[in-house]
């Protein structure tokens, strides 16, 4: 079968995988290939068990795989044959050298640029899908300009705004698609090619085109604003616990103001995930590198409050458990950084678990999707940890349950049954405020929500 255009995506992870699956589904006249250096991942993409869990994704992949969606390790041929290359490799925080702990580690990105340079024989549009420091496209262009085999490149920015656990939904019905390009004739033409892809299913008015730097920077700013809302409400949850105000009532009261809006106001154990922290720190680093110290300090506070919230949560727990958890069994409900994903990157559960192990508690961790990752994350960590797929078994004989991830499954458990098999007094720490606290209290639990007065029998 002949295809109108060939699209390649380098990096078959949480972003590359679902995004290309949806493009393949919506654009049958395009051939879409995903490549990755990770052999295991590519094998899984080609198998019945995909490497990541996203509701609705399996169905889409099974419709288009082998028809116009392909997964491969052959990066060189992929580059040679493609007209449009999305780059969706990881851009973690640098852990070494200049900017360690704040700046983006662009080694994977740079390697990709080199590979594109070496293997291109025809003109290509390079699309930045990864989240990158503002002005990265300039560096990419500099590398690509050293090419002397006739290939011409146009770099376009098209950051991704999907959230894990709802990636397919977000991709099918995005709030907006952002495409940034140089405002030159060739830049605008390249941007138009990318607009054409999304126009297959996204209404034109939702496709925003800007200059390259606005697009790159908008991605960092969007994540910073989202994370800032969470730190704002979490900071107020601490004040609620001192004053008997109720954080859910406050979130509703302020969220009813349309200027503020009701979303992203759930207080909890702090934000996790691979991006919020890294992107804010990167934003702060960029600000600092331009001499904007106050701007950098302002955004760093969002991360500081997030750390504070996690420490506060564990501190409150230990205090409520009579200042010692030594030898006590504690069930950890949820290890993923949020519901509907198996991803545990920067999950608050990791911090909480490590702290409780340091205090010599005995832990049983349960999570519908993240146990495999939990095992890998905690490999070599000192202390006693059991992994239980079944939450009832995890809570059996425990003195306390700590709910860390807001899985729906945890809302509908039979807490009467669970209570019977727990050690008394039985405590429950609802780190996401998703449970029916009054009902749990009536069953006999001592309930410790976030940003609300505890309900205790002692």
Query: Which residues form the catalytic set?
Result: 275
For residue 370, which of 358, 356, 388, 383 has the smallest C-alpha distance?
Answer: 388
Check residue 430 for interaction with ligand NAD (CB under 6 A): no
Question: In what helix (H) or strand (E) does residue 48 lie, and over which residues does it extend?
Answer: none
Minimum CB separation of residue 162 from ligand NAD in Å reads 5
Phi, psi for residue 210 in degrees, rounded to 5: -140, -175
373 binds ligand NAD (CB under 6 A): no
Binds ligand UGA (CB under 6 A): choice among 54, 164, 359, 377 = 164
Size of the site for ligand UGA (CB under 6 A): 20
d(CA 344, CA 271): 12
19-39 per-residue burial string, b: 16 or more CB within 10 A, e: under 16: bbbbbbbbbeebbbbbbbbee
Q: Is 216 an interacting residue with respect to ligand UGA (CB under 6 A)?
A: no
- DSSP per-residue codes, 284-323: HHHHHHTT-HHHHHHHHHHHHHHHHHHHHHHHHHHHHTTT
Which residue in 3, 81, 108, 199 binds ligand NAD (CB under 6 A)? 108
Contact window for ligand UGA (CB under 6 A) among 21-29, 36-44, 261-269, 434-442 = 261-269
Is 131 a binder of ligand NAD (CB under 6 A)? yes
Beta pairing class for 124-128 and 153-157 = parallel
User: Contact at 8 Å (CB) between 438 and 234?
Assistant: no
| CB of 4 vs ligand UGA, minimal distance in Å | 29
Closest CA to 191 of 208, 172, 171: 208
Instruction: Please answer whether residues 358 and 297 qualify as being in contact, where contact means their C-beta atoms are separated by less than 8 angstroms.
Output: no
Subset of 40-79 contacting ligand NAD (CB under 6 A): 41, 75
Nearer to ligand UGA, 115 or 340 (CB): 340
Q: How far is the CB of 269 from ligand UGA (least distance, A)?
A: 7
Q: Write the CB contacts of 331 (distance below 8 Å, at least 6 apart in sequence).
A: 363, 364, 365, 366, 391, 394, 395, 398, 400, 401, 402
Q: Which of these, 252, 237, 226, 236, lies nearest to 431 by C-alpha position?
A: 237
Q: Could you say whether residue 218 binds ligand NAD (CB under 6 A)? A: no
Residue 12 makes contact with ligand NAD by CB under 6 A: yes
| 275 or 332: CB nearest ligand NAD | 275
Write down the least CB distance from residue 103 to ligand UGA, Å: 17
* CA 39/CA 20 separation, integer angstroms: 18
Rule CB under 6 A: say whether 36 interacts with ligand NAD: yes
Of the pair 90, 309, the CB lying nearest ligand NAD is at: 90
Binds 337: which of ligand NAD, ligand UGA, none (CB < 5-8 Å by kind): ligand UGA
Which uninterrupted H or E stretch holds 117?
A: helix 107-119
- In whole angstroms, the minimum distance from the beta carbon of 266 to ligand UGA comes to 3
HSE-CB at 16 with a 13 A cutoff on CA atoms is 29
Site string for ligand UGA, 330-369 (x = CB under 6 A): -------xx-------------------------------
Which partner from the list ligand NAD, ligand UGA, none does 37 bind, CB cut-off 5 to 8 Å by kind?
Answer: ligand NAD
Helices marked H in 382-424: 391-395, 415-420
The binder of ligand NAD chosen from 88, 157, 218, 309 (CB under 6 A)? 88
Q: Which chain residues interact with ligand NAD by CB under 6 A?
A: 10-16, 35-38, 41, 75, 88-91, 108, 111-112, 130-131, 160, 162, 164, 274-275
């Amino acid at each position: 079968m002949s295809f109108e255009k060939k699209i390649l995506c380098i990096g078959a992870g949480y972003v590359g995988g679902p995004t290309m699956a949806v493009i393949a589904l919506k654009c049958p006249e395009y051939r879409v290939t995903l490549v990755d250096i990770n052999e295991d991942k590519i094998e899984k993409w080609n198998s019945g068990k995909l490497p990541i869990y996203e509701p609705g994704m399996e169905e889409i992949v099974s419709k288009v795989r082998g028809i116009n969606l392909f997964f491969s390790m052959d990066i060189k041929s992929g580059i040679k044959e493609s007209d449009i290359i999305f780059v969706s490799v990881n851009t973690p925080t640098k852990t070494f050298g200049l900017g360690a702990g704040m700046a983006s580690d662009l080694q994977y990105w740079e390697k990709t640029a080199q590979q594109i340079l070496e293997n291109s024989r025809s003109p290509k549009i390079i699309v930045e899908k990864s989240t990158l420091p503002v002005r990265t496209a300039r560096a990419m262009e500099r590398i690509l300009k050293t090419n002397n085999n006739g290939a011409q490149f146009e770099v376009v920015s098209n950051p991704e705004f999907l959230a894990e656990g709802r990636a397919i939904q977000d991709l099918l019905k995005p709030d907006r698609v952002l495409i940034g390009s140089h405002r030159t004739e060739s830049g605008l033409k390249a941007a138009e090619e990318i607009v054409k892809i999304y126009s297959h299913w996204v209404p034109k008015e939702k496709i925003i085109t800007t200059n390259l730097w606005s697009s790159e920077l908008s991605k960092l700013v969007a994540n910073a604003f989202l994370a800032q809302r969470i730190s704002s409400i979490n900071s107020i949850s601490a004040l609620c616990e001192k004053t008997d105000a109720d954080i859910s009532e406050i979130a509703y009261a302020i969220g009813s103001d349309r200027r503020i809006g009701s979303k992203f106001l759930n207080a909890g154990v702090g934000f996790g995930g691979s991006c919020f922290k890294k992107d804010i720190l990167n934003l702060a680093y960029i600000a600092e590198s331009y001499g904007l110290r106050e701007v950098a300090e302002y955004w760093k506070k969002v991360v500081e409050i997030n750390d504070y919230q996690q420490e506060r949560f564990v501190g409150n727990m230990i205090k409520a458990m009579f200042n010692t958890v030594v030898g006590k069994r504690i069930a950890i409900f949820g290890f993923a950084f949020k519901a509907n994903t198996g991803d545990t990157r920067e999950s608050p559960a990791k911090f909480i678990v490590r702290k409780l192990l340091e205090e010599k508690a005995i832990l049983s961790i349960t999570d519908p999707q993240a146990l495999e990752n939990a095992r890998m994350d905690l490999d070599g960590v000192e202390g006693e940890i059991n992994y239980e797929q079944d939450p009832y078994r995890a809570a059996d004989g425990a003195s306390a349950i700590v709910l860390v991830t807001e899985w729906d499954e945890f809302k509908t458990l039979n807490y009467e049954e669970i209570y019977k098999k727990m050690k008394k007094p039985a405590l429950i720490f609802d780190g996401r405020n998703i449970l029916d606290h009054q009902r749990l209290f009536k069953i006999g639990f001592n309930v410790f929500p976030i940003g609300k007065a505890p309900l205790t029998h002692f």
